[in-house]
Structure 1
């Protein structure tokens, strides 16, 4: 029961504090109008001592509502960081058959991914060890390439789920922790062990992101192979002599006649 109430409060905290403020204002009004009520109603009125606490409680509720609403003001939604949609990209999405709701959701996801990639790049610039990993495995470059591949093919967003929601966030978190620990003034043996292990895991994640990219663009590679095969076939057809009949692939080539050469030799001797 308490968990349910807590969850309700977290979801509707702005409304709750709004009602708290209204209750505080009501208590102050009651306290202020108490003398009027006593004069108008004669003996039928609330005891006077009830209204002094109501005034103080009302003031406290208003102050609490103001302070907590200001403190708990929600962060701006992610969509506020989404750049404006250009006409070219809108036409690109509509050409793929995406509805406006799908476009909004997709662009919000990609804006969040771009923020993580920029964060990752900033982390790499802050650490020589991370720079070395990035130089060898291109975690930033591959992440940027993966981002662009998803933008070009938004209909396969689900295929990039591991990259967007598991591998990239884990890589960003690990690099954050690595930088935080590496800046400790005093490093023990355990500290160096954790840092070394972190670099190993970051390297493995960089390799995993490479696999994510390869798997995502695999369909493009297959389509490219098919296009090249078709183009090569067309080139061979174009280079054949006019009127030449292509050989039947089911008919084996005719064997050379061993007597053909001897007959010509005999004819020469007869002459």
Structure 2
């Protein structure tokens, strides 16, 4: 699936070089664009992995329904793609939170698959996943509030 997305993305770029031009206009060098695109490809794969884990586990679905972390991660991802400089202010999201969430969901999957596992460990794993999911949702919420403040300032002072 990821390979198809990359091929599609590559073809789209060939047909529509304006995305690269847009990144150049936003002050990114060719090297910056290469790093940015790799980072976003990694982030997309991590979000897909998280999404797969949620789809296959009712406890993770409950956590998602309560926190909205996965949904927020997808929206934050879209914001960063549109505004590449946001990658700098969302360093923790891209390089810590997403990779950690993938690691947590994989560990949780391993824990629940062991027959005679301590139930406390499973519950503790769920708590950590929930906290990180809440943190990701809060990160997205803060980005939105920053955008709203910028627009408000532009309207009032512009």
**Cα distance in 1 for residues equivalent to 2:140 and 2:100:** 16
Matched, 1:208 2:144: no
| Greater relative CO (CA pairs within 8 A, separation 6+) | 2
Say which is worse superposed, 117-126 or 145-154, in terms of deviation.
Answer: 145-154
- How many residues are matched? 148
Tell me if structure 1 keeps the 8 A contact 2:87–2:94.
Answer: no
1:169 to 79, 94, 99: 99
Stretches of structure 2 lacking an aligned partner (at least 5 in a row):
1-5
1:91 to 7, 21, 33: 21
1:219 to 133, 146, 149: 146
**Cα distance in 2 for residues equivalent to 1:142 and 1:102:** 25
Measured against aligned partners, the alpha-carbon deviations of 1:205-262 in whole angstroms (never above 9, x if no partner) come to 011112222333443121121244358xxxxxxxxxxxxxxxxxxxxxxxxxxxxxxx
Tell me if structure 1 keeps the 8 A contact 2:108–2:122.
Answer: yes
Q: Partner residue of 2:32?
A: 102
**Cα distance in 2 for residues equivalent to 1:217 and 1:151:** 15
**Structure-to-structure mapping, 1:33-112, within 5 angstroms:** 83-84=9-10, 85=13, 86-112=16-42
2:80 to 134, 150, 155: 150
**Cα distance in 2 for residues equivalent to 1:211 and 1:132:** 18
1:187 to 108, 113, 116: 116
Q: Tell me, what secondary structure is at the counterpart of 2:74?
A: helix
Matched, 1:197 2:127: no
**Structure showing greater Rg:** 1
Stretches of structure 1 lacking an aligned partner (at least 5 in a row):
1-80, 232-271
